[in-house]
Amino acid sequence: MEKIASSKISPEDIETRKKQIYIAKKTQRLLGNFITFPAFFKHHLQLIHQGSAFSLHPLYAQYFFKQKLIIQLPVQRIEHAMHDWVQCNAQHLHTSDYFLSNQDLLSISHPVENILAYRHAKELLAADWNYQSTKAYQYFSTALSKGKPIKKQHVLLDSTTAIDAYFERFQQLYLSIQNHGLLSNAQISQRSAQQPDREIGIAIDRRGNIFKLQGGQHRFALAKLLNISHIPVEIRMVHTDLLQQICQTHKKSPIQAILWMAHQLASAEAVC
C-alpha cells in the first residue's frame, strides 16, 4: 500500500471512480435502507476479513445512518490527512470511496500542515490578506502564464480576474469562520438558500486516531489556524480492527459499535 501522486492518476482511474460513485448513488436507497443494509454491511465486513484492504462505499453508510455520523469534534484532534489516491494490489483507489478498511492509515497519510490550502492560508494570514504579494498568488499566476491554469473549488483559474475572485472567496470564508465558527450544513441551509458543501470527512484508525479525508480543505485549514474549538465532521471511514475491539469489549453489533464510536467522539471520550 503506497500513496500515488496526482500526476500518476490516469483518465481511466478517474472514469472508474466516477462509475463507482454513480452506481453507489443509484443503489444507495436499495442497499442502504434499514432492511437491507445490515446484511449488506456484514457482507462487506466479510470481504475485509477475507483480505480486501478497503470495502463499502460511504454513500451506503450515509444513507443508513443519516445525521448520526455527523459530530462536533475538536479541530486540534485532527493532525493528519489521508492521501487522496493509493495503490493497492496494482489498483489505484481513492481513499474517500470506502467506509471500511483494515490498513495502517498512518502510512498513507501526511501532516495536515502539508495540505496546500493550509500552507496558502497560513501565508495569507501572515500577509494580512494582501494576497497579490504572496507565493500562493504567484503559484496560480505562474500556472496561468504557462497555459496550465489550475482548477480550485470546481472553478478554472484561467484569468487574473478568476484568480483574484478565488482569493476574495477565501477571505470571505475566513471572515465567516472567524465571526461564526465553522457552520454545519444544517446551519448553512437555515441561514441561506445556497447548497452547502458536504461536511468535512474523517477516518478513524485501529487506535482511534483521526484523519482528515479529501474535501473541505479551505474550511479545515482556516478553522485549524483560527483554533476554532469544535468543527462539524462526518465519519466516513472506520477501521475494522477498532470495530471488532468495540464489539468484543462492549458487547455490541458492528452497527451499534459505529454509533457508540460516534457518541464517544462527540463526547470527547476515547474510542479504544
Q: List the chain pLDDT tens, one digit each, 272 residues.
A: 889 888 899 999 999 999 999 999 999 999 999 999 999 999 999 999 999 999 999 999 999 999 999 999 999 999 999 999 999 888 999 999 999 999 999 999 999 999 999 999 999 999 999 999 999 999 999 999 999 999 998 899 999 999 999 999 999 999 999 999 998 887 776 665 555 678 999 999 999 999 999 999 999 999 999 999 999 999 999 999 999 999 999 999 999 999 999 999 998 777 77
Instruction: Please tell me whether residues 127 and 219 are part of one structural domain.
Output: no
Instruction: Please tell me whether residues 73 and 202 are part of one structural domain.
Output: yes
Instruction: Please tell me whether residues 105 and 201 are part of one structural domain.
Output: yes
Instruction: Please tell me whether residues 201 and 105 are part of one structural domain.
Output: yes
Q: How many alpha carbons lie under 13 Å from residue 179 in its C-beta half-sphere?
A: 6
Asked if residue 189 is part of any domain, the answer here is no
Separation CA 19–CA 13 (nearest Å): 10
Separation CA 145–CA 24 (nearest Å): 40
Asked if residue 5 is part of any domain, the answer here is no
Q: How many structural domains does the chain have?
A: 2
Asked if residue 191 is part of any domain, the answer here is no
Q: Global pTM?
A: 0.93
Instruction: Please tell me whether residues 176 and 252 are part of one structural domain.
Output: no
Asked if residue 142 is part of any domain, the answer here is yes
Q: Which of 153, 180, 207 is the last residue of a domain?
A: 180
Q: Which of 155, 180, 205 is the last residue of a domain?
A: 180
Full residue range of the structural domain in which residue 144 is found: 117-180
Instruction: Please tell me whether residues 123 and 211 are part of one structural domain.
Output: no
Instruction: Please tell me whether residues 39 and 104 are part of one structural domain.
Output: yes
Instruction: Please tell me whether residues 57 and 99 are part of one structural domain.
Output: yes
Asked if residue 192 is part of any domain, the answer here is no
- Strand pairing of 54-55 and 100-101? antiparallel
Asked if residue 2 is part of any domain, the answer here is no
Instruction: Please tell me whether residues 100 and 225 are part of one structural domain.
Output: yes
